[in-house]
Structure 1
Amino acid sequence: MAAKLSPSEQLAYSTVRIECELQNGQSGTGTGFFFRFAESGGVHVPAIVTNKHVVAGAKKGRFIMTLSDRDGNPIQQSHHAFIFDNFEHMWIPHPEGSVDLCAMPIAPLLEAANKESKKLFYVSLDKSLTPSVAELEDMVLMEEITMVGYPNGIWDQVNNMPIFRRGITATHPNLDYNGKPEFLIDAACFPGSSGSPVFLYNQVGYATKSGGMTIGPGRIKLLGVLYAGPQHTVSGEVRVITIPTQNVPIAVSTIPNNLGMVIKASKLEAFETFFEGILENERNANKAIQPTQ
Protein backbone atom coordinates (compact mmCIF):
# COMPACT_ATOMS: atom_id res chain seq x y z
CA MET A 1 0.00 0.00 0.00
CA ALA A 2 1.01 3.64 -0.45
CA ALA A 3 3.49 4.64 2.24
CA LYS A 4 2.60 8.32 2.59
CA LEU A 5 -1.06 7.76 3.39
CA SER A 6 -2.68 6.66 6.63
CA PRO A 7 -4.28 3.19 6.61
CA SER A 8 -7.80 4.61 6.28
CA GLU A 9 -6.70 6.90 3.41
CA GLN A 10 -5.22 3.91 1.65
CA LEU A 11 -8.52 2.08 1.97
CA ALA A 12 -10.30 5.09 0.47
CA TYR A 13 -8.17 4.88 -2.67
CA SER A 14 -8.77 1.13 -2.99
CA THR A 15 -12.35 1.54 -4.26
CA VAL A 16 -14.01 2.88 -7.38
CA ARG A 17 -17.58 4.03 -8.05
CA ILE A 18 -19.12 2.05 -10.92
CA GLU A 19 -21.88 3.63 -12.99
CA CYS A 20 -23.97 1.49 -15.32
CA GLU A 21 -26.50 2.25 -18.01
CA LEU A 22 -28.77 -0.76 -18.36
CA GLN A 23 -30.46 -2.21 -21.43
CA ASN A 24 -33.84 -0.90 -20.23
CA GLY A 25 -32.51 2.66 -20.15
CA GLN A 26 -32.28 2.84 -16.37
CA SER A 27 -29.03 3.57 -14.58
CA GLY A 28 -27.46 2.29 -11.41
CA THR A 29 -24.32 2.51 -9.30
CA GLY A 30 -22.21 0.01 -7.44
CA THR A 31 -18.84 -0.33 -5.81
CA GLY A 32 -15.67 -1.97 -7.06
CA PHE A 33 -12.23 -2.34 -5.52
CA PHE A 34 -8.74 -2.73 -6.94
CA PHE A 35 -7.01 -6.07 -6.45
CA ARG A 36 -3.60 -7.33 -7.49
CA PHE A 37 -3.85 -10.91 -8.76
CA ALA A 38 -1.24 -13.53 -9.63
CA GLU A 39 1.69 -11.57 -8.22
CA SER A 40 4.90 -13.37 -9.16
CA GLY A 41 8.35 -12.50 -10.40
CA GLY A 42 7.84 -8.76 -10.09
CA VAL A 43 4.64 -8.64 -12.17
CA HIS A 44 0.95 -8.97 -11.48
CA VAL A 45 -2.49 -8.67 -13.07
CA PRO A 46 -4.27 -5.50 -11.89
CA ALA A 47 -8.04 -5.78 -11.79
CA ILE A 48 -11.26 -4.34 -10.38
CA VAL A 49 -13.60 -6.67 -8.47
CA THR A 50 -17.34 -6.19 -7.96
CA ASN A 51 -20.57 -8.21 -7.91
CA LYS A 52 -21.93 -9.88 -11.03
CA HIS A 53 -25.32 -8.27 -10.43
CA VAL A 54 -23.77 -4.77 -10.42
CA VAL A 55 -22.84 -5.02 -14.11
CA ALA A 56 -25.54 -7.46 -15.25
CA GLY A 57 -27.34 -6.05 -18.28
CA ALA A 58 -25.08 -2.98 -18.48
CA LYS A 59 -24.68 -1.79 -22.06
CA LYS A 60 -22.53 1.15 -20.96
CA GLY A 61 -20.31 1.78 -17.97
CA ARG A 62 -18.25 4.53 -16.44
CA PHE A 63 -15.84 5.02 -13.58
CA ILE A 64 -13.39 7.71 -12.54
CA MET A 65 -9.83 7.32 -11.28
CA THR A 66 -7.68 9.88 -9.50
CA LEU A 67 -4.52 11.16 -11.20
CA SER A 68 -1.06 10.95 -9.68
CA ASP A 69 1.81 13.45 -9.69
CA ARG A 70 5.40 12.67 -10.64
CA ASP A 71 6.21 11.57 -7.09
CA GLY A 72 3.36 9.10 -6.99
CA ASN A 73 1.04 11.17 -4.80
CA PRO A 74 -2.68 11.57 -5.53
CA ILE A 75 -3.72 14.87 -7.07
CA GLN A 76 -6.94 15.88 -5.36
CA GLN A 77 -9.65 17.10 -7.71
CA SER A 78 -7.77 15.82 -10.78
CA HIS A 79 -9.37 12.74 -12.30
CA HIS A 80 -9.67 10.69 -15.47
CA ALA A 81 -12.98 9.17 -16.59
CA PHE A 82 -13.21 5.83 -18.39
CA ILE A 83 -16.33 5.18 -20.46
CA PHE A 84 -17.16 1.77 -21.92
CA ASP A 85 -19.62 0.24 -24.35
CA ASN A 86 -20.74 -3.38 -23.96
CA PHE A 87 -19.75 -3.02 -20.32
CA GLU A 88 -21.18 -6.27 -18.97
CA HIS A 89 -19.00 -8.37 -21.28
CA MET A 90 -15.76 -6.77 -20.09
CA TRP A 91 -16.04 -8.62 -16.78
CA ILE A 92 -14.86 -12.14 -16.01
CA PRO A 93 -17.48 -13.95 -13.90
CA HIS A 94 -16.50 -16.07 -10.94
CA PRO A 95 -16.42 -19.69 -12.14
CA GLU A 96 -18.92 -20.70 -9.46
CA GLY A 97 -22.33 -19.57 -10.62
CA SER A 98 -23.56 -19.13 -7.05
CA VAL A 99 -20.72 -16.73 -6.15
CA ASP A 100 -21.74 -13.16 -6.99
CA LEU A 101 -18.30 -11.86 -7.97
CA CYS A 102 -16.64 -10.75 -11.20
CA ALA A 103 -13.36 -9.09 -12.14
CA MET A 104 -12.11 -6.82 -14.92
CA PRO A 105 -8.39 -6.59 -15.82
CA ILE A 106 -7.34 -2.94 -16.08
CA ALA A 107 -3.82 -3.10 -17.52
CA PRO A 108 -5.11 -1.82 -20.91
CA LEU A 109 -6.66 1.17 -19.13
CA LEU A 110 -3.42 1.99 -17.36
CA GLU A 111 -1.54 1.74 -20.65
CA ALA A 112 -4.06 3.99 -22.42
CA ALA A 113 -3.75 6.62 -19.69
CA ASN A 114 0.03 6.38 -19.84
CA LYS A 115 -0.03 7.08 -23.58
CA GLU A 116 -1.87 10.30 -22.73
CA SER A 117 0.91 11.11 -20.23
CA LYS A 118 -1.48 10.51 -17.35
CA LYS A 119 -0.51 8.47 -14.33
CA LEU A 120 -3.34 7.05 -12.26
CA PHE A 121 -3.35 6.77 -8.49
CA TYR A 122 -5.05 3.87 -6.78
CA VAL A 123 -4.26 1.40 -4.00
CA SER A 124 -4.55 -2.28 -4.83
CA LEU A 125 -5.51 -4.85 -2.26
CA ASP A 126 -3.82 -8.24 -2.52
CA LYS A 127 -4.04 -11.71 -1.06
CA SER A 128 -1.75 -10.79 1.85
CA LEU A 129 -4.74 -8.90 3.27
CA THR A 130 -7.03 -11.94 3.23
CA PRO A 131 -7.07 -13.64 6.64
CA SER A 132 -5.43 -17.03 7.07
CA VAL A 133 -7.24 -19.99 8.58
CA ALA A 134 -5.42 -19.40 11.88
CA GLU A 135 -6.36 -15.70 11.88
CA LEU A 136 -10.01 -16.51 11.24
CA GLU A 137 -10.04 -19.07 14.01
CA ASP A 138 -8.61 -16.52 16.46
CA MET A 139 -11.28 -13.92 15.71
CA VAL A 140 -14.15 -13.34 18.11
CA LEU A 141 -17.75 -13.48 16.98
CA MET A 142 -18.31 -9.73 17.25
CA GLU A 143 -15.49 -7.98 15.42
CA GLU A 144 -15.42 -4.34 14.31
CA ILE A 145 -15.75 -3.95 10.56
CA THR A 146 -15.40 -1.08 8.10
CA MET A 147 -17.16 -1.03 4.75
CA VAL A 148 -16.00 1.32 2.00
CA GLY A 149 -18.25 2.20 -0.92
CA TYR A 150 -20.93 4.39 -2.42
CA PRO A 151 -24.28 3.90 -0.63
CA ASN A 152 -27.13 5.26 -2.74
CA GLY A 153 -24.39 6.37 -5.15
CA ILE A 154 -23.26 9.01 -2.63
CA TRP A 155 -19.63 10.10 -2.93
CA ASP A 156 -17.36 13.11 -2.68
CA GLN A 157 -17.52 13.91 -6.38
CA VAL A 158 -15.04 16.79 -6.21
CA ASN A 159 -12.33 14.67 -4.58
CA ASN A 160 -13.44 11.31 -6.02
CA MET A 161 -13.66 9.75 -2.56
CA PRO A 162 -15.95 7.02 -1.17
CA ILE A 163 -18.03 6.80 1.99
CA PHE A 164 -16.94 4.82 5.07
CA ARG A 165 -19.46 2.86 7.14
CA ARG A 166 -18.78 1.11 10.46
CA GLY A 167 -20.42 -1.96 11.99
CA ILE A 168 -19.76 -5.36 13.51
CA THR A 169 -19.78 -8.96 12.37
CA ALA A 170 -23.23 -10.39 13.04
CA THR A 171 -22.13 -14.00 12.55
CA HIS A 172 -18.65 -15.43 13.01
CA PRO A 173 -16.50 -14.77 9.90
CA ASN A 174 -14.94 -18.22 10.29
CA LEU A 175 -18.29 -19.98 9.94
CA ASP A 176 -20.23 -20.56 6.70
CA TYR A 177 -23.59 -18.89 7.25
CA ASN A 178 -26.31 -21.42 6.38
CA GLY A 179 -23.65 -23.59 4.77
CA LYS A 180 -22.54 -20.97 2.25
CA PRO A 181 -19.10 -19.26 2.05
CA GLU A 182 -20.43 -16.02 3.53
CA PHE A 183 -21.22 -14.30 6.82
CA LEU A 184 -23.43 -11.49 8.06
CA ILE A 185 -22.53 -7.99 9.18
CA ASP A 186 -24.56 -5.54 11.22
CA ALA A 187 -24.24 -2.35 9.20
CA ALA A 188 -26.37 -0.06 7.05
CA CYS A 189 -26.34 -1.54 3.53
CA PHE A 190 -27.99 0.64 0.90
CA PRO A 191 -28.27 0.53 -2.91
CA GLY A 192 -24.85 1.31 -4.40
CA SER A 193 -23.03 -0.59 -1.67
CA SER A 194 -22.94 -3.81 -3.71
CA GLY A 195 -19.33 -4.81 -4.29
CA SER A 196 -18.04 -2.90 -1.25
CA PRO A 197 -15.01 -4.46 0.42
CA VAL A 198 -15.60 -5.29 4.07
CA PHE A 199 -12.55 -4.94 6.29
CA LEU A 200 -11.68 -6.04 9.76
CA TYR A 201 -10.16 -2.74 10.87
CA ASN A 202 -8.74 -2.21 14.36
CA GLN A 203 -6.77 1.01 14.58
CA VAL A 204 -5.16 0.25 17.96
CA GLY A 205 -5.24 -3.19 19.58
CA TYR A 206 -7.89 -5.91 19.49
CA ALA A 207 -9.29 -8.81 21.50
CA THR A 208 -8.41 -12.44 20.80
CA LYS A 209 -10.62 -15.49 21.06
CA SER A 210 -8.76 -16.69 24.15
CA GLY A 211 -9.85 -13.54 25.98
CA GLY A 212 -6.53 -11.77 25.68
CA MET A 213 -5.93 -8.27 24.36
CA THR A 214 -3.33 -7.33 21.78
CA ILE A 215 -1.95 -3.85 22.42
CA GLY A 216 -0.01 -1.94 19.80
CA PRO A 217 -0.37 -1.75 16.02
CA GLY A 218 -3.84 -2.34 14.68
CA ARG A 219 -4.80 -4.76 11.94
CA ILE A 220 -6.49 -4.59 8.56
CA LYS A 221 -7.87 -7.69 6.91
CA LEU A 222 -10.13 -8.04 3.89
CA LEU A 223 -12.95 -10.22 5.21
CA GLY A 224 -15.08 -10.21 2.09
CA VAL A 225 -17.39 -8.45 -0.36
CA LEU A 226 -20.93 -7.21 0.34
CA TYR A 227 -23.52 -8.56 -2.09
CA ALA A 228 -26.95 -8.91 -0.47
CA GLY A 229 -29.04 -8.36 2.61
CA PRO A 230 -32.12 -9.83 4.29
CA GLN A 231 -35.08 -7.47 4.25
CA HIS A 232 -38.61 -7.80 5.57
CA THR A 233 -41.77 -6.79 3.79
CA VAL A 234 -44.48 -4.64 5.27
CA SER A 235 -46.41 -7.86 5.88
CA GLY A 236 -43.53 -9.25 7.96
CA GLU A 237 -42.12 -11.73 5.43
CA VAL A 238 -38.32 -11.92 5.40
CA ARG A 239 -36.60 -12.00 2.01
CA VAL A 240 -32.94 -12.10 1.02
CA ILE A 241 -32.21 -9.83 -1.95
CA THR A 242 -29.05 -8.66 -3.62
CA ILE A 243 -28.23 -5.08 -2.68
CA PRO A 244 -29.70 -3.18 -5.66
CA THR A 245 -27.72 -0.77 -7.78
CA GLN A 246 -30.58 1.69 -8.09
CA ASN A 247 -33.53 3.13 -6.21
CA VAL A 248 -36.69 2.15 -8.10
CA PRO A 249 -40.32 1.61 -7.07
CA ILE A 250 -41.17 -2.05 -6.45
CA ALA A 251 -44.51 -3.78 -6.07
CA VAL A 252 -43.86 -5.11 -2.56
CA SER A 253 -42.34 -2.67 -0.08
CA THR A 254 -39.25 -4.03 1.66
CA ILE A 255 -37.52 -2.58 4.68
CA PRO A 256 -33.78 -3.09 5.24
CA ASN A 257 -32.98 -4.48 8.67
CA ASN A 258 -29.38 -3.23 8.69
CA LEU A 259 -27.85 -6.61 7.96
CA GLY A 260 -25.58 -7.36 5.05
CA MET A 261 -24.45 -10.64 3.52
CA VAL A 262 -20.75 -10.83 2.72
CA ILE A 263 -18.98 -13.24 0.37
CA LYS A 264 -15.82 -14.49 2.06
CA ALA A 265 -12.54 -13.15 0.72
CA SER A 266 -11.33 -16.73 0.21
CA LYS A 267 -13.55 -16.92 -2.89
CA LEU A 268 -11.18 -14.49 -4.62
CA GLU A 269 -8.72 -17.37 -4.90
CA ALA A 270 -10.50 -18.61 -8.04
CA PHE A 271 -9.50 -15.40 -9.82
CA GLU A 272 -5.89 -15.94 -8.70
CA THR A 273 -5.88 -19.26 -10.55
CA PHE A 274 -7.51 -17.77 -13.64
CA PHE A 275 -5.15 -14.80 -13.88
CA GLU A 276 -2.09 -16.95 -13.27
CA GLY A 277 -2.98 -18.55 -16.61
CA ILE A 278 -3.36 -15.11 -18.19
CA LEU A 279 -0.03 -14.06 -16.73
CA GLU A 280 1.69 -17.07 -18.20
CA ASN A 281 0.21 -16.47 -21.66
CA GLU A 282 0.90 -12.76 -21.67
CA ARG A 283 4.26 -12.69 -19.91
CA ASN A 284 6.28 -12.20 -23.08
CA ALA A 285 3.81 -9.83 -24.74
CA ASN A 286 3.54 -7.77 -21.53
CA LYS A 287 -0.07 -6.83 -22.35
CA ALA A 288 -2.00 -8.00 -19.31
CA ILE A 289 0.65 -7.43 -16.64
CA GLN A 290 2.08 -4.48 -14.80
CA PRO A 291 5.36 -4.14 -12.86
CA THR A 292 4.80 -4.51 -9.15
CA GLN A 293 5.24 -1.13 -7.46
Structure 2
Amino acid sequence: MIPREQPDTPATFKPAAEALLLTAARVRTFVQERHLTNASGFFFARDQRLFLVTSRHVVTDKPSQHFPDRIEIELHTDRDNLGASTWFNLPLYAQSVSLWRDGSDDGGAIDVAVLEIRRDRLPVTAVFEAFGPEHLPSPEDVMPTGASVLIVGFPLGFHDSLHHLPVVRQGIIASAFGLRFQGKGCFITDARTHRGTSGAPVVMSNPSMANTSTGASLPWVLLGIHSSTIDMGTRDVHADESLGLNSAWYSDILMTLTSDHPRVAKESAEKT
Protein backbone atom coordinates (compact mmCIF):
# COMPACT_ATOMS: atom_id res chain seq x y z
CA MET A 1 0.00 0.00 0.00
CA ILE A 2 1.35 3.37 -0.98
CA PRO A 3 1.04 5.85 1.88
CA ARG A 4 -1.22 8.75 1.06
CA GLU A 5 0.80 11.90 0.66
CA GLN A 6 -0.03 14.45 3.32
CA PRO A 7 -0.59 18.01 2.07
CA ASP A 8 1.85 20.61 3.18
CA THR A 9 0.38 22.76 5.93
CA PRO A 10 2.36 25.94 6.43
CA ALA A 11 2.66 26.94 10.06
CA THR A 12 2.09 30.58 9.20
CA PHE A 13 0.78 32.75 6.41
CA LYS A 14 3.10 34.60 4.08
CA PRO A 15 4.77 37.26 6.20
CA ALA A 16 3.14 40.26 4.48
CA ALA A 17 -0.37 38.80 4.62
CA GLU A 18 0.02 37.69 8.22
CA ALA A 19 1.32 41.06 9.31
CA LEU A 20 -1.54 42.95 7.66
CA LEU A 21 -4.19 40.73 9.20
CA LEU A 22 -2.60 41.02 12.63
CA THR A 23 -2.82 44.82 12.57
CA ALA A 24 -6.61 44.63 12.80
CA ALA A 25 -8.48 44.25 16.06
CA ARG A 26 -11.98 42.98 16.60
CA VAL A 27 -13.79 45.46 18.85
CA ARG A 28 -16.82 44.97 21.09
CA THR A 29 -18.48 47.81 23.02
CA PHE A 30 -20.14 47.45 26.42
CA VAL A 31 -22.02 49.25 29.12
CA GLN A 32 -20.72 47.39 32.15
CA GLU A 33 -21.47 43.76 31.18
CA ARG A 34 -24.07 44.49 28.50
CA HIS A 35 -22.76 43.97 24.98
CA LEU A 36 -23.79 46.80 22.65
CA THR A 37 -22.09 46.68 19.26
CA ASN A 38 -19.28 45.17 17.19
CA ALA A 39 -16.70 47.22 15.32
CA SER A 40 -13.22 47.19 13.85
CA GLY A 41 -9.97 48.85 14.83
CA PHE A 42 -6.24 48.57 14.33
CA PHE A 43 -2.95 49.10 16.14
CA PHE A 44 -0.72 52.14 15.65
CA ALA A 45 2.66 52.51 17.35
CA ARG A 46 4.68 55.67 17.79
CA ASP A 47 7.81 56.23 19.88
CA GLN A 48 7.32 52.99 21.83
CA ARG A 49 3.72 53.92 22.61
CA LEU A 50 0.84 51.79 21.39
CA PHE A 51 -2.63 52.95 20.40
CA LEU A 52 -5.88 51.37 19.29
CA VAL A 53 -7.45 53.31 16.44
CA THR A 54 -11.15 53.11 15.63
CA SER A 55 -14.04 55.38 14.66
CA ARG A 56 -15.18 57.99 17.14
CA HIS A 57 -18.80 56.88 16.79
CA VAL A 58 -17.72 53.47 18.10
CA VAL A 59 -16.84 54.94 21.50
CA THR A 60 -19.54 57.63 21.65
CA ASP A 61 -22.39 58.63 19.37
CA LYS A 62 -25.05 61.05 20.53
CA PRO A 63 -27.40 60.70 17.51
CA SER A 64 -27.87 56.98 18.18
CA GLN A 65 -27.60 57.34 21.97
CA HIS A 66 -24.62 55.00 21.95
CA PHE A 67 -22.57 55.57 25.10
CA PRO A 68 -20.42 52.55 26.03
CA ASP A 69 -18.19 52.75 29.09
CA ARG A 70 -15.63 50.21 27.93
CA ILE A 71 -14.52 48.19 24.93
CA GLU A 72 -12.89 44.82 24.50
CA ILE A 73 -10.43 43.83 21.79
CA GLU A 74 -9.48 40.30 20.84
CA LEU A 75 -5.77 39.49 21.02
CA HIS A 76 -3.86 36.49 19.73
CA THR A 77 -1.73 34.91 22.42
CA ASP A 78 0.35 32.36 20.50
CA ARG A 79 2.06 33.10 17.18
CA ASP A 80 2.26 29.39 16.40
CA ASN A 81 -1.40 28.79 17.21
CA LEU A 82 -3.68 31.51 15.87
CA GLY A 83 -6.62 29.73 17.47
CA ALA A 84 -5.44 30.92 20.89
CA SER A 85 -6.86 34.30 21.82
CA THR A 86 -8.17 36.33 24.72
CA TRP A 87 -10.33 39.42 25.22
CA PHE A 88 -8.57 42.49 26.58
CA ASN A 89 -10.58 45.16 28.38
CA LEU A 90 -10.06 48.88 27.74
CA PRO A 91 -12.03 51.34 29.89
CA LEU A 92 -13.27 54.44 28.10
CA TYR A 93 -13.51 56.65 31.17
CA ALA A 94 -11.53 57.36 34.33
CA GLN A 95 -13.24 59.46 37.00
CA SER A 96 -15.87 60.48 34.41
CA VAL A 97 -13.20 61.79 32.01
CA SER A 98 -12.94 60.19 28.56
CA LEU A 99 -9.67 58.36 27.91
CA TRP A 100 -9.76 58.43 24.13
CA ARG A 101 -8.44 61.24 21.96
CA ASP A 102 -10.38 62.79 19.11
CA GLY A 103 -10.53 66.10 17.32
CA SER A 104 -12.37 68.38 14.95
CA ASP A 105 -11.56 70.82 12.18
CA ASP A 106 -13.32 73.48 10.13
CA GLY A 107 -15.51 70.76 8.62
CA GLY A 108 -16.72 69.55 12.01
CA ALA A 109 -15.98 66.51 14.15
CA ILE A 110 -13.45 63.99 12.85
CA ASP A 111 -14.78 60.45 13.12
CA VAL A 112 -11.53 58.98 14.46
CA ALA A 113 -10.63 58.05 18.02
CA VAL A 114 -7.40 56.69 19.48
CA LEU A 115 -7.05 54.98 22.84
CA GLU A 116 -3.61 54.40 24.33
CA ILE A 117 -2.81 50.85 25.38
CA ARG A 118 -0.36 50.24 28.20
CA ARG A 119 2.05 47.66 26.83
CA ASP A 120 2.88 46.44 30.34
CA ARG A 121 -0.76 45.47 30.83
CA LEU A 122 -0.98 43.35 27.71
CA PRO A 123 -0.65 39.57 27.98
CA VAL A 124 3.04 38.67 27.88
CA THR A 125 2.49 36.51 24.81
CA ALA A 126 0.21 38.96 22.95
CA VAL A 127 0.68 38.75 19.17
CA PHE A 128 -0.12 41.73 16.96
CA GLU A 129 1.37 44.02 14.35
CA ALA A 130 1.13 47.80 14.30
CA PHE A 131 1.30 50.52 11.70
CA GLY A 132 3.57 53.46 12.42
CA PRO A 133 4.38 56.92 11.06
CA GLU A 134 6.47 55.27 8.36
CA HIS A 135 3.30 53.74 6.90
CA LEU A 136 1.54 57.07 6.36
CA PRO A 137 1.54 58.50 2.83
CA SER A 138 3.97 61.33 2.16
CA PRO A 139 2.96 64.49 0.29
CA GLU A 140 4.81 63.40 -2.83
CA ASP A 141 3.07 60.01 -2.99
CA VAL A 142 0.64 59.71 -5.90
CA MET A 143 -2.65 57.99 -5.09
CA PRO A 144 -4.58 58.03 -8.37
CA THR A 145 -8.35 57.93 -8.47
CA GLY A 146 -9.39 54.35 -9.17
CA ALA A 147 -6.37 52.85 -7.42
CA SER A 148 -7.03 49.61 -5.57
CA VAL A 149 -7.31 49.64 -1.78
CA LEU A 150 -8.06 47.05 0.89
CA ILE A 151 -10.31 47.50 3.93
CA VAL A 152 -9.36 45.08 6.71
CA GLY A 153 -12.08 44.52 9.26
CA PHE A 154 -14.98 42.61 10.74
CA PRO A 155 -18.17 43.32 8.74
CA LEU A 156 -21.22 42.46 10.84
CA GLY A 157 -18.71 40.84 13.20
CA PHE A 158 -17.89 38.25 10.52
CA HIS A 159 -14.37 36.83 10.65
CA ASP A 160 -12.37 33.60 10.68
CA SER A 161 -13.71 32.37 14.00
CA LEU A 162 -11.16 29.54 14.15
CA HIS A 163 -8.05 31.67 13.70
CA HIS A 164 -9.60 34.94 14.95
CA LEU A 165 -8.58 36.86 11.85
CA PRO A 166 -10.38 39.62 9.94
CA VAL A 167 -11.57 39.53 6.36
CA VAL A 168 -10.50 41.91 3.62
CA ARG A 169 -12.73 43.81 1.20
CA GLN A 170 -11.27 45.25 -1.98
CA GLY A 171 -12.27 48.65 -3.31
CA ILE A 172 -10.95 51.69 -5.11
CA ILE A 173 -10.24 55.32 -4.31
CA ALA A 174 -13.37 57.07 -5.61
CA SER A 175 -12.50 60.73 -5.05
CA ALA A 176 -9.49 62.98 -5.55
CA PHE A 177 -7.06 61.72 -2.91
CA GLY A 178 -5.45 64.54 -0.97
CA LEU A 179 -8.44 66.85 -1.31
CA ARG A 180 -11.00 67.30 1.46
CA PHE A 181 -14.18 65.75 0.10
CA GLN A 182 -17.03 68.23 0.57
CA GLY A 183 -14.83 70.20 2.94
CA LYS A 184 -14.21 67.33 5.36
CA GLY A 185 -10.89 65.63 6.11
CA CYS A 186 -11.88 62.46 4.29
CA PHE A 187 -11.86 60.75 0.91
CA ILE A 188 -14.29 58.32 -0.71
CA THR A 189 -13.90 54.62 -1.42
CA ASP A 190 -16.00 52.40 -3.64
CA ALA A 191 -16.26 49.08 -1.81
CA ARG A 192 -18.92 46.83 -0.41
CA THR A 193 -18.92 47.36 3.35
CA HIS A 194 -21.25 46.66 6.26
CA ARG A 195 -21.85 47.67 9.84
CA GLY A 196 -19.00 46.50 12.00
CA THR A 197 -16.37 47.73 9.55
CA SER A 198 -16.18 51.15 11.19
CA GLY A 199 -12.62 51.83 12.34
CA ALA A 200 -10.97 49.49 9.85
CA PRO A 201 -7.69 50.49 8.18
CA VAL A 202 -7.81 51.43 4.50
CA VAL A 203 -4.50 50.42 2.94
CA MET A 204 -2.68 50.27 -0.37
CA SER A 205 0.08 47.85 -1.26
CA ASN A 206 3.56 49.36 -1.46
CA PRO A 207 6.02 46.68 -2.62
CA SER A 208 8.94 49.12 -2.42
CA MET A 209 8.60 49.15 1.38
CA ALA A 210 9.52 45.47 1.43
CA ASN A 211 13.10 46.54 0.71
CA THR A 212 13.32 48.83 3.73
CA SER A 213 14.10 47.92 7.32
CA THR A 214 10.94 49.59 8.63
CA GLY A 215 8.49 48.28 6.06
CA ALA A 216 9.79 44.81 5.28
CA SER A 217 7.20 42.98 7.39
CA LEU A 218 4.33 45.35 6.61
CA PRO A 219 4.66 46.76 3.06
CA TRP A 220 1.42 48.73 3.07
CA VAL A 221 0.54 52.41 3.05
CA LEU A 222 -2.09 53.36 5.62
CA LEU A 223 -4.32 55.74 3.66
CA GLY A 224 -7.18 56.21 6.07
CA ILE A 225 -9.67 55.00 8.64
CA HIS A 226 -12.97 53.65 7.31
CA SER A 227 -15.93 55.49 8.81
CA SER A 228 -19.28 54.59 7.28
CA THR A 229 -21.28 54.14 4.12
CA ILE A 230 -22.63 57.19 2.33
CA ASP A 231 -26.22 57.58 1.28
CA MET A 232 -28.34 60.32 -0.23
CA GLY A 233 -31.22 61.64 1.83
CA THR A 234 -33.12 62.21 -1.40
CA ARG A 235 -32.71 58.63 -2.63
CA ASP A 236 -35.93 56.77 -3.42
CA VAL A 237 -35.36 53.49 -1.58
CA HIS A 238 -37.83 51.76 -3.92
CA ALA A 239 -36.38 53.06 -7.19
CA ASP A 240 -32.71 53.80 -6.52
CA GLU A 241 -29.93 51.52 -5.38
CA SER A 242 -27.61 52.70 -2.63
CA LEU A 243 -24.49 54.50 -3.78
CA GLY A 244 -22.14 51.80 -2.54
CA LEU A 245 -19.66 54.47 -1.47
CA ASN A 246 -17.90 55.00 1.85
CA SER A 247 -16.05 57.74 3.67
CA ALA A 248 -12.55 57.25 5.06
CA TRP A 249 -10.71 59.83 7.14
CA TYR A 250 -7.17 60.70 6.13
CA SER A 251 -4.62 58.88 8.25
CA ASP A 252 -2.44 61.93 8.89
CA ILE A 253 -4.79 62.84 11.77
CA LEU A 254 -3.05 60.03 13.68
CA MET A 255 0.12 62.10 13.99
CA THR A 256 -1.87 64.75 15.82
CA LEU A 257 -3.89 62.40 18.00
CA THR A 258 -0.85 60.37 19.08
CA SER A 259 1.23 63.38 20.09
CA ASP A 260 3.16 63.12 23.36
CA HIS A 261 1.03 65.91 24.79
CA PRO A 262 -2.66 64.91 24.82
CA ARG A 263 -3.96 68.43 25.46
CA VAL A 264 -1.82 69.86 22.68
CA ALA A 265 -2.87 66.99 20.43
CA LYS A 266 -6.54 67.74 20.94
CA GLU A 267 -6.09 71.47 20.41
CA SER A 268 -4.04 70.83 17.26
CA ALA A 269 -6.64 68.42 15.91
CA GLU A 270 -9.31 71.03 16.40
CA LYS A 271 -7.29 73.45 14.28
CA THR A 272 -6.32 70.98 11.55
TM-score under structure 2 length normalisation = 0.74
Q: Which residue of 2 aligns with 1:193?
A: 197
1:62 pairs, out of 72, 80, 83, with 72
**How far has the Cα of 1:21 moved from its partner?**
2.4
Alpha-carbon distance in structure 2 between the residues aligned to 1:18 and 1:113 = 16
Structure 1 pair 168/59, CA: closer, same or farther in 2 (3 Å)? same
Q: Which residue of 2 aligns with 1:102?
A: 113
| RMSD, matched Cα | 3.0
The one-letter code of the counterpart of 1:63 is I
Q: Deviations over 1:125-153 (max 9, x none)?
A: 00111110000xx2321110000001111
Structure 1 pair 84/262, CA: closer, same or farther in 2 (3 Å)? closer
Alpha-carbon distance in structure 1 between the residues aligned to 2:261 and 2:70 = 28
Q: Deviations over 1:111-133 (max 9, x none)?
A: 2345xxx3101001001111100
1:1-293 equivalences under 5 Å are 5-22=14-31, 27-37=36-46, 39=47, 44-56=48-60, 57-68=67-78, 73-84=79-90, 89-94=98-103, 96=105, 98-107=109-118, 110-114=119-123, 118-135=124-141, 138-201=142-205, 220-232=220-232, 236=235, 256-272=242-258, 274=259, 276-277=260-261
- Structure 1: runs of 5 or more not aligned: 205-217, 239-253, 279-293
Q: Secondary structure at the match of 1:121?
A: coil
Equivalenced residue count is 229
Alpha-carbon distance in structure 1 between the residues aligned to 2:143 and 2:122 = 42
Structure 1 pair 100/86, CA: closer, same or farther in 2 (3 Å)? closer
**How far has the Cα of 1:172 moved from its partner?**
2.0
State whether residues 203 and 223 of structure 2, in contact with CA within 8 Å, keep that contact through their aligned partners in structure 1: yes
Q: Which residue of 1 aligns with 2:64?
A: none
Alpha-carbon distance in structure 2 between the residues aligned to 1:111 and 1:54 = 25
Structure 1 pair 256/162, CA: closer, same or farther in 2 (3 Å)? farther
Runs of 4+ in 1 over 6 A off after TM superposition: none
Structure 1 pair 4/192, CA: closer, same or farther in 2 (3 Å)? closer
**How far has the Cα of 1:4 moved from its partner?**
8.3
The one-letter code of the counterpart of 1:236 is R
Higher strand share: 1
State whether residues 176 and 182 of structure 1, in contact with CA within 8 Å, keep that contact through their aligned partners in structure 2: yes
Q: Deviations over 1:84-126 (max 9, x none)?
A: 555693422236561111111112xx42345xxx310100100
Give the percent of matched residue pairs that are identical in Structure 1 and Structure 2: 21
- Structure 2: runs of 5 or more not aligned: 1-11, 61-66, 209-217, 263-272
State whether residues 92 and 100 of structure 2, in contact with CA within 8 Å, keep that contact through their aligned partners in structure 1: no
**How far has the Cα of 1:271 moved from its partner?**
1.7
Structure 1 pair 85/125, CA: closer, same or farther in 2 (3 Å)? closer
Q: Secondary structure at the match of 1:77?
A: coil
State whether residues 129 and 222 of structure 1, in contact with CA within 8 Å, keep that contact through their aligned partners in structure 2: yes
Alpha-carbon distance in structure 1 between the residues aligned to 2:121 and 2:117 = 10
The one-letter code of the counterpart of 1:263 is W
